[in-house]
Amino acid sequence: MEFITHPLLPVDETQDIQQRLLAPNLPWRDGRLTAGDQASLVKQNHQLDPNSDLTLSITNRISTALTNDPLIKSFTLVRKVHSLLVSRSDSGDGYGWHVDNPFSRYGRRDLSFTVFLSDDDSYQGGSLSIQSGGDKTTEFRLSPGQVVVYPSSLLHCVQPVVGGTRFVCVGWIESYVKSAEDRSLLFNLDAGARGLLARHGRSDELDLIFQSYTNAIRRLSS
C-alpha cells in the first residue's frame, strides 16, 4: 500500500479553521519561497507566514493529531512530523509535477501528507494527483478534515484550481523506517495481527507474530 487516506480532524474543528482562514489581512506569502529551484518553476499558490499565530495553531493541532492517530502511526512509523505549511490556492493556481526534496532543515522527508481543509463545493479543480506504479496516476480530492499520506519519493502535482479557493495543510514525516517497501510490509503485518487479535483474542501464536513485528522494526529502523 503506497498511500492512505483517513479522517483526521473532527468536523467542528475543521469548520473553525475554515472561518479563521477566511479572515481579512492574513499574512499570506508567495508559495514559491518554500519550493526548490526546479519546483518553484511550476508552483503558484500562497502560504501563511509560518511564524504567524494562526499557522502555529493549525499546524500544532495537525501534528498532534497525526502523531496520536493509531492508523497513521502504524502506516508511517512516525518519528517526527515537521515543516508544515498552510496553503491557499485561488482560481488559476496549481503546482505542476514535482518530487519533494529529501530533506528540510527540520528532518528527513520520508512521507508527505496533505490535510484538506475546504468544503468540497467551495472550489473546483485542485485535485492532488500522485503518480505510482509506472504510469498509474491516482487523484485525491478529499472532504475537509481528511488526510492523504504517501511516500515523498513519488511524483505528484496539484491540478489547477478553476474556481473558488482551496485551503490545505501540507507537511512531512520522518519515519523510523526509511524504506517505503519495508513500511508497507510492516503495516500489513501489524494490520493482520490486530485483525486476528480482534477476531480471535490473544494466543501464543499471535504473541509470536507481534514479537516478530516488533523485532523487525528494530532491525529495519534507522
Q: Clarify whether residues 150 and 215 are in a common domain.
A: no
State the CATH number of the domain containing residue 127.
2.60.120.620
DSSP 134: T
Q: What is the pLDDT, as a whole number, of residue 37?
A: 81
58-112 pLDDT tens trace: 999 999 999 999 999 999 999 999 999 999 999 999 999 999 999 999 999 999 9
Q: Clarify whether residues 164 and 207 are in a common domain.
A: no
Q: What is the pLDDT, as a whole number, of residue 135?
A: 81
Q: Cα(28)–Cα(190) distance, rounded to whole angstroms?
A: 41
Q: What is the residue range of 42's domain?
A: 4-175
Q: Clarify whether residues 96 and 193 are in a common domain.
A: no
Q: Clarify whether residues 197 and 157 are in a common domain.
A: no
Q: Clarify whether residues 26 and 57 are in a common domain.
A: yes
Q: Clarify whether residues 37 and 143 are in a common domain.
A: yes
Q: Clarify whether residues 131 and 203 are in a common domain.
A: no
Q: Clarify whether residues 120 and 202 are in a common domain.
A: no
Q: Clarify whether residues 129 and 21 are in a common domain.
A: yes
Q: Strand 156-158 and strand 103-104: pairing?
A: unpaired
Least-confidence region, from 86-90, 112-116, 133-137, 184-188: 133-137
Q: What is the pLDDT, as a whole number, of residue 36?
A: 81
Q: Clarify whether residues 213 and 154 are in a common domain.
A: no
Q: Clarify whether residues 39 and 110 are in a common domain.
A: yes
The three three-digit cell numbers of residue 101, written as one number: 526534496
For 67-105, b where at least 16 C-beta lie within 10 A, e where not — what string? Answer: eebeebebbbbbbbbbbbbbbbbeeebbbeebbbeeeee
Q: What is the pLDDT, as a whole number, of residue 142?
A: 98
Structural contact between residues 170 and 85, judged by C-beta atoms closer than 8 angstroms? yes
Q: How many domains does the chain have?
A: 2
Structure confidence at residue 143 as a pLDDT band (50, 70, 90): very high
Q: What is the pLDDT, as a whole number, of residue 5?
A: 98
Structural contact between residues 8 and 14, judged by C-beta atoms closer than 8 angstroms? no
CA triple 135-5-80, angle to 5 deg? 100
Q: Clarify whether residues 135 and 170 are in a common domain.
A: yes
> With 90 as the cut, is the pLDDT of residue 32 above it?
yes
> With 80 as the cut, is the pLDDT of residue 1 above it?
no
